[in-house]
């Protein structure tokens, strides 16, 4: 999507605001730009299209002179506690009622100072009302001085035509050129004081080199040799001066370039810019109008999912019913087979059956063990015997069975085969039934 970067500047000593707008293509190339009055900005930005209603596409820069920025130490064990205590800590630094100001903050970490930006609610409301008149919805509202990197051991100084912007790891503000030297001197002596020896004298800076150096980046202008020397002698670190060429860019163009670089470097160790759109000013998510095309499809999919859910629910209820029915039948079958074991329940059926199936040949054989060996012997007979009924006494390990065989000679052959297979065999009854012989056998392994 295209991107819009808008800058709002307050005209010094006049209640007039100046506007600059820059439109970039999807590939990040500058497509168009303009500057002018509020009404002209509203007309030009309003004609850009619906993509400006997506907060992720719109960034707004406001003047640092309208916002109070500071670092404060806030007690608290958690991020939530620190966030709640923040207004009470900054209240002593605010001239107006704390309820009339909006407090935005940077990343909150326990035990570390919190970067804060404090702005009047009337002022931020006026900014947002002007922008909303163009149908644009900003997702990032940041200070122009915050366009420069927030990196430890770096201090950025932008010397513009009307004001000077300062950005360091613990400093963000705008001032004028006349106050720059005194502000820098106060900041450097406070943050990087010269260490003293035991007798109270300052250490020799040549013999005792500081542990690190501070890179001071100069943008848009320069400091004289005398000014640099004065600053170098009052702080306890080496100052390394880095001059940046603006390549004939205007102030707004240069700041926009820095904003783009800051966005690209997000997540690379550099702390992000403070977004003033927090709390009650947090932008709502953009409405995806493509959703309207797919609403009928989504509704149909929802209906199909509902039907599928009902079908699966009915199926699960039916499966549960069948499972309960089979379980009850299994219990009845078990009780019929093992007549001496009448206390079995559905919960203990599997365990009890496993106990029967798990008995080896060296132990008292279980029902299936005896039945399997009997079936194998009966199956080897030329004239296949017929098994009429059987019962098993689990306590004594005895199987009683009624079989039909061809004649008494086959019955005797079966008895011998069972004995050879390790059974104790007792023929309880044997009688002629037509052409066959019906015999009742008692087997014990």
User: Cβ–Cβ contacts within 10 Å for residue 98, how many?
Assistant: 13
Among 272, 172, 148, 156, which residue's Cα sits nearest to residue 215?
156
d(CA 229, CA 199): 26
Half-sphere exposure of 425 (CA within 13 A, CB side): 22
Question: Which pLDDT tens digits describe the chain residue by residue (445 residues)?
Answer: 899 999 998 765 555 578 999 999 988 899 999 999 999 999 999 999 999 999 999 999 999 989 999 999 988 888 889 999 999 999 888 888 999 999 999 999 888 899 999 999 999 999 999 999 999 999 999 999 999 998 888 999 999 878 899 999 889 999 988 999 999 999 999 888 887 655 555 554 434 444 578 999 999 999 999 999 999 999 888 999 999 999 889 999 999 999 998 888 766 667 889 999 999 999 876 555 565 667 788 888 889 999 999 999 999 899 988 888 888 887 787 777 766 666 777 777 767 666 665 554 444 567 778 888 888 888 888 788 888 888 888 778 888 999 999 899 899 999 999 999 889 999 999 999 888 999 999 998 7
Answer yes or no: pTM beyond 0.75. Answer: no
Q: Contact at 8 Å (CB) between 338 and 367?
A: yes
CA distance 87 to 112: 17
Q: CB–CB of 137/53 below 8 Å?
A: yes
Six-digit token string for 443: 């087997």
Query: Distance between CA 68 and CA 274 in Å, rounded?
Result: 13
Bridge partners for 35 per DSSP: 20
DSSP 259-279: HHHHHHTBTTTBPPPPPS--G
Q: Which of 232, 65, 50 is nearest to 144 (CA)?
A: 65
Distances (CA, A) of 27 to 2, 33, 81: 8, 16, 42
Nearest to 10 by CA among 107, 120, 171, 138: 120
Question: Which among 212, 182, 208 has a CA at the least distance from the CA of 195?
Answer: 208
pLDDT on residue 379: 84
pLDDT of 286: 53
pLDDT for position 206: 39
Predicted pLDDT at 100: 94
Query: CA-CA distance, 53 to 366, in Å (whole number)?
Result: 79
Q: Beta strands 101-105 and 140-143: pairing type?
A: unpaired
The span from the CA of 259 to the CA of 142, in Å, is 10
Per-position DSSP letters for 95-142, written without gaps between them: SS-GGGEEEEE----TTS-EEEEEEEHHHHHHHHHHHHTTT---SEEE
Decide if 144 contacts 255 (C-beta within 8 A).
yes
Residue 436's nearest CA partner among 405, 395, 413 is 405
Q: Which residues pair with 168 in a beta bridge?
A: 155, 171
Helix and strand element counts for the chain (H, E): 10, 17
Q: Which two tokens stand for residue 439?
A: 């015999």
Residue 401 in 3-state DSSP?
strand
Angle between helix 225-234 and 177-191 (nearest 10):
30
- State the burial class of residue 233 (Cβ atoms within 10 Å of its Cβ: 0-12, 13-18, 19+): exposed
| Separation between Cα atoms, residue 261 and residue 268, nearest integer Å | 12
CA pair distance 374, 212, nearest whole angstrom: 94
pLDDT of 392 reads 84
Q: Confirm if 63 and 24 have CB atoms less than 8 A apart.
A: no
Token pair for 259: 């904003």
pLDDT at residue 354, as a whole number: 64
Q: What pLDDT was estimated at residue 43?
A: 94
Length of the chain: 445
């Amino acid at each position: 999507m295209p991107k819009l970067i808008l800058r709002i500047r307050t005209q010094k000593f006049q209640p007039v605001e100046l506007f600059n707008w820059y439109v970039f293509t999807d590939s990040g190339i500058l497509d168009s730009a303009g500057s002018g009055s509020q009404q002209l900005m509203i007309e030009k930005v309003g004609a850009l299209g619906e993509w400006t209603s997506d907060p992720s596409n719109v960034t707004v820069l406001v003047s640092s002179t309208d916002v109070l920025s500071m670092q404060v130490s806030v007690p608290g064990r958690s991020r939530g506690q620190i966030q709640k205590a923040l207004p009470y800590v900054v209240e002593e630094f605010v001239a107006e009622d704390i309820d009339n100001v909006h407090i935005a903050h940077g990343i909150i970490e326990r035990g570390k100072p919190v970067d804060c930006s404090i702005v009047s609610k009337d002022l931020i409301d006026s900014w947002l009302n002007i922008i909303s008149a163009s149908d644009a919805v900003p997702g990032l509202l940041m200070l122009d001085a915050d366009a420069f990197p927030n990196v430890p051991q770096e201090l950025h100084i932008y010397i513009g035509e009307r004001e000077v912007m300062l950005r360091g790891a613990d400093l963000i503000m705008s001032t004028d050129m006349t106050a720059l030297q005194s502000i820098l001197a106060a900041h450097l002596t406070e943050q990087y004081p010269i260490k003293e020896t035991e007798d109270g004298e300052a250490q020799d800076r040549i013999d005792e080199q500081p542990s690190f150096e501070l890179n001071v980046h100069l943008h848009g202008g320069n400091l004289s040799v005398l000014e640099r020397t004065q600053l170098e002698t009052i702080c306890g670190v080496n100052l390394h001066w880095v001059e940046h060429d603006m390549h004939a860019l205007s102030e707004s163009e240069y700041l926009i370039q820095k904003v783009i670089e800051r966005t690209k470097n997000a997540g690379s160790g550099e702390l992000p810019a403070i977004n003033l759109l927090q709390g009650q000013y947090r932008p709502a998510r953009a409405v995806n109008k493509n959703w309207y095309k797919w609403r009928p499809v989504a509704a149909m999919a929802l209906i199909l999912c509902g039907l599928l859910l009902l079908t699966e629910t009915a199926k699960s209820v039916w499966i549960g019913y069948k499972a309960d029915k089979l379980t009850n039948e299994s219990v009845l079958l078990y009780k019929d087979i093992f007549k001496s074991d009448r206390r079995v329940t559905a919960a203990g059926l599997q365990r009890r059956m496993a106990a029967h199936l798990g008995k080896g040949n060296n132990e008292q054989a279980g029902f299936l063990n005896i039945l399997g060996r009997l079936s194998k012997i009966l199956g080897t007979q030329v004239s296949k015997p017929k098994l009429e009924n059987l019962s098993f006494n689990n306590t004594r390990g005895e199987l009683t069975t009624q079989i039909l065989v061809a004649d008494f000679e086959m019955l005797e052959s079966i008895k011998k085969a069972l004995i050879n297979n390790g059974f104790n065999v007792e023929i309880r009854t044997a009688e002629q039934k037509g052409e066959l012989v019906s015999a009742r056998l008692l087997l014990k392994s």
